[in-house]
Amino acid sequence: MAAQQPNDARIAVIGLGSMGFGMAASLARAGFDVVGADVQKTAVERFATEHGRAAGSPAEAAQNADIVVTVVVNAAQTRDVLFGPNGAATTARKGAVIISSATMSPRDAVDLSERAASLGLLYLDAPISGGAHRAAEGALTILASGEAAAFAKARPALDAMAAKLYELGDKPGTGASFKMINQLLAGVHIAAACEAITFARRLDLDIAKVYEVITGSAGNSWMFENRVPHVLAGDYTPRSAVDIFTKDLGIISDMSRDQKFPTPIAAQAFQMFLMTAAAGMGRDDDASVARLYAKIAGLDLPGQP
Amino acid sequence: MAAQQPNDARIAVIGLGSMGFGMAASLARAGFDVVGADVQKTAVERFATEHGRAAGSPAEAAQNADIVVTVVVNAAQTRDVLFGPNGAATTARKGAVIISSATMSPRDAVDLSERAASLGLLYLDAPISGGAHRAAEGALTILASGEAAAFAKARPALDAMAAKLYELGDKPGTGASFKMINQLLAGVHIAAACEAITFARRLDLDIAKVYEVITGSAGNSWMFENRVPHVLAGDYTPRSAVDIFTKDLGIISDMSRDQKFPTPIAAQAFQMFLMTAAAGMGRDDDASVARLYAKIAGLDLPGQP
């Protein structure tokens, strides 16, 4: 989206993977002065050439920044790029706002928020949803919570990155909780889709026809509709890897124990992702859970030996 | 739908519950001569008054029938109304076609088909999907398999009952298999929806907001979108009862064992439905699985003590 008026804030984007790169590009397009950092030098150079400026570390990127967007894999990496030796918190402006995008437990979000506050920084617990394509278009869904001052400072940047911004209250941890409920369902639905489509194969059904029937029936899910085509095409190039859901269903498992709340369906799905990772497919597309069922049962699937 | 030309076939509809009544009414509207039978006398009388003619038994309803539609709960009831002492097969015309709508295992569908063939009757394995409202409108989805002669004879009746007719080949059992794959997914998605929305409650989230966020996110499913409103409204009037899925996931469990194919996600969902039935909610709406989680964890849900 083009900016209606110049955005003169300085923004550091830490993490230029497929999501972070698109988010940084969307911010630059909206007129912000954007500096990117990543452990991958090629991503940083490409960003500098195409959209903004490059930095060699989070601390360098955040020099005089008003806004720091972290788009790394998990809570540990977020902690490191913010509060580690070369962390962004060492150089960002006093009163700057951190927009934390990684999927993590609500407890980790609260911890990071408190640590930011102790350094005079604002913090938004702001996990994202939508994939690389929508990140590049500035059309993500953002599930954000945090104090009003943090929203006030971050909103122009959030608007540049999101098509849909949910403002979920003033408590850090709420954004993370909403994201984790989504991940619980998404993980279960992927595992169920893989179980169902391979069971259909075992029953000698035409699985392309099964896809057609189910996507028009009450058994459909967003994940069934999105992932089963990978199985039909025999293409396990990772759009989202098995390891993402071993991580996220692992967080659900931790939260479940902390809360003393049973999540038996998610726990079973977690085991299927762990089996798929154990079988050597952790970095492949998460539809590989279907290959795990096929491997166990000696079934052939499209494109598989 | 109004008939384009008079349909002079005689049709017996056995089972006038919420689905069968609507299907029989749709057939009558299309100009067929329809006779209804049911163990519930009031349903039969209401059907005779509003749409067609009444019979006191399946055998009486099927007297000289060209088509027999069975819309009962399971394979055992279908066997009984067709081949029992007062069964429809004793009186239907030679060469009549049976349209069997109950959800059952593929093995049961094959058995019934063979028994029909031995009596000179055609058989369509034709499970249905879509609920009472669409049954009444002649707008069901029908997943049918069977020999070409059975389709040829049944098609005008199928067209009167269905908005979407899938013709899934000439083998009885294929229609049942497609339906069971749908039920596997549907059952898992209901249990996952109930697990997720009660876990959200435990995390002190606004569950109406969770519904809004999830239905616009990758964690959505047809069942989440359809059933969670029952939880939000605290209304467990049965649109589809817990006992339906204890039955259908029980069939999946039997098929899984027969096929030596593991279905761990469905097995876990099955246990949650059994727990809900064990807790006395078998005849309540299947969203009652959420009440089971709430009962276990001492949570309050809308409208619940």
Tokens of B122: 């055609």
Question: What pLDDT, on the 0 to 100 scale, is given for residue B4?
Answer: 43
Q: CB distance from B210 to chain A under 8 Å? A: yes
d(Cα A131, Cα A133) in Å, to the nearest integer? 6
d(Cα B305, Cα B81) in Å, to the nearest integer? 42
Taking an 8 Å cut-off on Cβ atoms, the answer to whether A195 and B164 are in contact is no
| Contact in structure between A106 and A255 (CB atoms under 8 Å) | yes
Q: Which residues contact B206 (CB under 8 A, 6 or more apart)?
A: none
d(Cα B96, Cα A44) in Å, to the nearest integer? 73
Average pLDDT, chain A: 96
Residue entry with tokens 């749908």:
B182
d(Cα A200, Cα A232) in Å, to the nearest integer? 12
d(Cα A170, Cα A167) in Å, to the nearest integer? 9
Identify the segments of chain A with pLDDT beneath 50. 1-5
d(Cα A219, Cα B266) in Å, to the nearest integer? 13
pLDDT in tens, A170-228: 999 999 999 999 999 999 999 999 999 999 999 999 999 999 999 999 999 999 999 99
From chain B residues 175-204, the ones with a CB under 8 A of any chain A CB are 177-178, 181-186, 188-189, 191-193, 195-196, 198-200, 202-203
Taking an 8 Å cut-off on Cβ atoms, the answer to whether A192 and B191 are in contact is no
Which residues in A lie closer than 8 A to residue B265 (C-beta atoms)?
188, 191-192, 195, 265, 268-269, 272
| Contact in structure between A302 and A232 (CB atoms under 8 Å) | yes
Residue B232 C-alpha, separation from nearest chain A C-alpha, in angstroms: 16
Taking an 8 Å cut-off on Cβ atoms, the answer to whether A266 and B186 are in contact is no
Residue B208 C-alpha, separation from nearest chain A C-alpha, in angstroms: 12
* Annotated catalytic residue B179: yes
Question: What pLDDT, on the 0 to 100 scale, is given for residue A7?
Answer: 74
pTM of the predicted protein model: 0.95
Identify the segments of chain B with pLDDT beneath 50. 1-5
Q: CB distance from B5 to chain A under 8 Å? A: no
Taking an 8 Å cut-off on Cβ atoms, the answer to whether A265 and B260 are in contact is no
Question: What pLDDT, on the 0 to 100 scale, is given for residue A1?
Answer: 43
Q: CB distance from A220 to chain B under 8 Å? A: yes
ipTM of the complex in this document: 0.95
Strands (E), chain B: 10-14, 33-37, 53-54, 67-70, 97-100, 122-125, 128-129, 140-144, 162-167
Distance, C-alpha A121 to centroid of its chain: 23
Question: What pLDDT, on the 0 to 100 scale, is given for residue B2?
Answer: 43
Taking an 8 Å cut-off on Cβ atoms, the answer to whether A260 and B297 are in contact is yes
Nearest chain A residue to B220, by CA: A222
| Contact in structure between B213 and A182 (CB atoms under 8 Å) | yes
Question: What pLDDT, on the 0 to 100 scale, is given for residue A133?
Answer: 92
Question: What pLDDT, on the 0 to 100 scale, is given for residue A90?
Answer: 96
DSSP structure string for B153-200 = HHHHHHHHHEEEEEE--SSTTHHHHHHHHHHHHHHHHHHHHHHHHHHH
From chain A residues 241-300, the ones with a CB under 8 A of any chain B CB are 255-256, 259-269, 271-272, 293, 296-297
